[in-house]
Structure 1
Amino acid sequence: MNATAPLRVLILTETFQPEIGGGERQAALLAQGLRRRGHPTLLMTRRSRTGLPAEAVEDGIRIVRLPPVGAVRHARWGMLLYVPAALWRLRRDYDVLLVSGYRALGIPAVLVGRWLGKPVVLKADSLGEMSGAYFRSGLARWRLSPDGFLIRGLLRMRNALLRRAAAQVAISGEIEAELLGAGIGPTKVRRIPNGVDTADFRPATPEERSRLRGLLGLPPGLVIVYTGRLVSYKGLPLLLDAFRELGDRRGATLVLVGEGGGDQHNCEAALREQARAPGLGPRVRFAGAVTRVEDWLRAADCYAFPTENEAFGLALVEAMACGLPAVTTRVGGLADYVEPEVNALVIEPGDRAALVGALDALLGDAGLRARLGAAARDSVCARFGEDAVASCYEQLFAALAAPGREAAG
């Protein structure tokens, strides 16, 4: 039971369901966790599709969607025109403001929060949001760099404002180090991992797996799955190359669940073209955006996640919660919980030969799959249960909302 007085929480995020991605699922999970603990939660996001209503209540969560509407280029920056007015209009509906992914929305949130006297908590969903490294590839298109004099100066001014947030949440040790290195006071940095619903994301019995495969139209034989955005830095072009080199000697199918969406690293079209190459063809399936990611995970035999850049890796945690043995890297936040040869097989980013070998090892050894999958499930249940994560946010919000309790630093 919750002993904390009810707090009204507004979660501000660039995109939300029905878009598929770790950030979207995490925002939904936290909103539901807070609601179950007695804290009314409002979610503000972009109206990413024209068919979505501007305002609705979904599963007990009030959702307000702002322009720009639809698949608009640089949409996250367009939100800057609408967020301040919306936060002001709804000022009587929230006590605490959490910004999930603050690369674009952090500045207006902190400004409005300071104006209204409401605590603002910033949560980085990606590495480099504070340092500016996240923007490197986008700036390169304009022949700019976060290391250049102009951008470095702009980042310095931006970060001076972001440091005035009441608190900053680090979902991994690497992000925590980045925040401290940017001059955030240690008392303002709170280490709270992302959470997972271990009741929904759970191992399937053989009967459940067979039923799910029938419902999803998956073929017989072994199934490798990837879930998340179809973006280049997840190592997906490498995965298709490795799967092609693996050949059909294991009789496996590779399923990619998700879409590229509006991400600047969207590589969905290139992946679909790559999948037409000889040696792949019908062995690669594109599931598109789905509403029940857990069904695809529970229908699979193993999980492939050769990512090159990862703040936390929620998609991997969900797969591990389902008891799937995984082939992955240990970049970024993955190093906090991926244990080589214990709960996953680990490769270096970009190492195609190692990826081929690890996939072949998993597909050829049912005992190895069972051992890694059981250890993966155990490690997730011990560290990332949704109720424990919601409780950490509840305690943080309660401390910040109390009169005179803004964190020092």
Structure 2
Amino acid sequence: MADIRDVEVIAPNFKRRLSGVTSTIIQLIPIQRALGQKIAVLGPGLPESLPSIRFLDLLHLWKAPPGRRYRVWHARRNVEMLPAIIMRDLLRMKLKIAFTSASQRRHTGWSKFLIGRMDAVIATSGKTAAYLEVPNDVILHGIDTKRFHPAVDPAQAKAARGVDPAQKFVGCFGRVRRQKGTDLFVDSMIALLPCRPGWSAIVAGRATGPHVAFENELKERVAKAGLAERILFVGEHTNIPDWYRALDLFVAPQRWEGFGLTPLEAMATGVPVVATDVGAFSELVASGTMQTGTIVPADNLQAMVEATAAFMDDDRRRTAAGVNGLARTAASFAIEGEAGAINRVYERLMR
């Protein structure tokens, strides 16, 4: 438990179920603290290893921390903005409010009302910023480049995952459901693998609830194509960086995505990427002379097949794009860069 008197920034999490927002908080807080930010979390569903405060500690917010004019409350959901507005505007607490928006759609009137009363707004991508009607800072998500890194020995990395080291593998990782485009990936592989005997495919991720039937249909489709031993459904894994290190190519086939970290995770592992034009993918994956992959239109199977084939059939292109992706993530998308940029927003508010 953190001492509220020594906390300058509060990161609330008012949703008990694990989500992308919760995962972002869990990953960022230790890095922000390592960079010198006095930050603590508030709310359920977070690891005990994170410094936290109690709801009772909010009574101390009438007094600013030593050497500061204000504390910062960093909301990421509507339900976290509203209490901060009440504390700042009605109770006159020494508080400034930051909000991170990841939405890529027009905001409701209620959301606009809340966002319009923020002291700072952070957009997670340029696409997100385009839907905001207030000044904002664009800070793209980063990833842990110490956790996601290339394999020292690619053949050994494949053997460690129980797959054939002599094969090349193209992967699709994430929840198994239509929104994530898993069916587009499977259909691409059914089209591409029969005439490419040196390649196989890996689908890593979990299907839940109504999506289990969707996954079973995909497995039946694979079996009918005679590819059950070459399109592998490996389920959900906690050691997902090890699975990236078993890949030669990654496909992100989503029909919709809020941001999407999987292309960055692949690039940080030295794996080239074919991704649809959703979420922040077009801002992450580079084309041109420093190509790290290819962006294709969403929900366009033929475009995905053609872009994937171009990488599968060109070893030199894959190698170059993998090297470029590794350099791009290290230079522009390490999580330390994201944490530092957010900390600078806090400093601006506290001054």
Would the TM-score normalized by the shorter structure come out above 0.5? yes
| 8 Å Cα contact 2:151-2:157 kept in structure 1 | no
Matched residue, 1:346: 295
Give the secondary-structure state (helix, strand or coil) at the position aligned to 1:123.
strand
**Equivalent of 1:89 in 56, 65, 69:** 56
From 121, 127, 133, the equivalent of 1:174 is 127
Decide whether the 8 Å contact of 1:56 with 1:62 is kept in 2: no
Gaps of 5+ in 1: 48-54, 65-85, 133-154, 403-409
Aligned counterpart for 1:57 among listed residues 48, 61, 69: 48
Q: Secondary structure at the match of 1:179?
A: coil
Q: In structure 2, what is the equivalent of residue 226 of structure 1?
A: 172
> How do 1:50-129 residues align onto structure 2 when only pairs under 5 Å count?
56-58=47-49, 61-62=50-51, 88-91=55-58, 92=60, 95-100=71-76, 102=77, 105-108=80-83, 110-112=85-87, 114=89, 115=91, 116-128=93-105
Partner amino acid, structure 2, of 1:250: R
How far does residue 346 in structure 1 lie from its aligned partner after superposition? 2.5
Question: Which residue identity is paired with 1:230?
Answer: V
Runs of 4+ in 1 over 6 A off after TM superposition: none
* 2:118 alignment counterpart: 165
* Contact 2:255/2:299 (<8 A) preserved: yes
Are 1:10 and 2:25 counterparts? no
C-alpha contact (below 8 Å) 2:177/2:215 kept by paired residues: no
Change (3 A) 1:271 1:111: farther
Could you say if the C-alpha distance between residues 117 and 353 of structure 1 is closer, same or farther in structure 2, counting changes exceeding 3 Å? same
The answer to whether the Cα contact below 8 Å between 2:7 and 2:40 also exists between their aligned partners in 1 is: no
What do the CA deviations read for 1:253-291 (whole angstroms, capped 9, x no partner)?
Answer: 3222232458xxx74540232122212423333333332
Secondary structure at the counterpart of residue 362 of structure 1:
helix
Task: Give CA deviations for 1:381-409 in whole Å, capped at 9, x if unaligned.
Answer: 2211222221111111122233xxxxxxx
Normalised to the residue count of structure 2, the TM-score between the two structures is 0.81
Q: What pairs up with 1:114-263 in 2 under 5 angstroms? A: 114=89, 115=91, 116-128=93-105, 131-132=106-107, 155-180=108-133, 184=134, 186=135, 189-205=136-152, 207=153, 209-220=154-165, 221-251=167-197, 252-260=199-207
Q: Is the 8 A contact 1:234 1:306 kept in 2?
A: yes
| Alignment-derived partner of residue 348 in structure 2 | 399
The verdict on how the C-alpha distance between 1:103 and 1:308 changes in structure 2, with shifts beyond 3 A counting, is farther
Corresponding pairs, count: 328
Q: Distance in 2 between matches of 1:40 and 1:193?
A: 22
CA distance in 2, matches of 1:291, 1:176: 32
Shift of 1:15: 6.4
| C-alpha distance in 1 between matches for 2:285 and 2:184 | 20
1:11-30 alignment, distance < 5 Å: 11-12=12-13, 14=15, 23-30=21-28
Q: Distance in 2 between matches of 1:173 and 1:354?
A: 24
Measured at CA, do residues 282 and 273 of structure 1 come closer, stay the same or move farther in structure 2, by a change above 3 Å?
farther
Query: CA 1:269–1:57 in 2, change beyond 3 Å: closer, same or farther?
Result: same
Task: Give the Cα–Cα distance (whole angstroms) in 1 for the partners of residues 309 and 260 of structure 2.
Answer: 23
Matched-pair identity in %: 23
Residue 36 of structure 1 and its aligned partner are, at CA, apart by 0.8
Residues in 2 aligned to 1:248 and 1:45: alpha-carbon distance in whole angstroms: 51
**SS across alignment from 2:13:** strand
Letter in 1 for 2:158: R
Give yes or no for contact 1:322–1:377 (8 Å, CA) kept in 2.
Answer: yes
Equivalent positions of 1:329-340 (< 5 A) are 329-340=276-287
* Shift of residue 23, structure 1, vs aligned partner: 4.4
**Which residue of structure 2 lines up, in the alignment, with residue 290 of structure 1?**
237
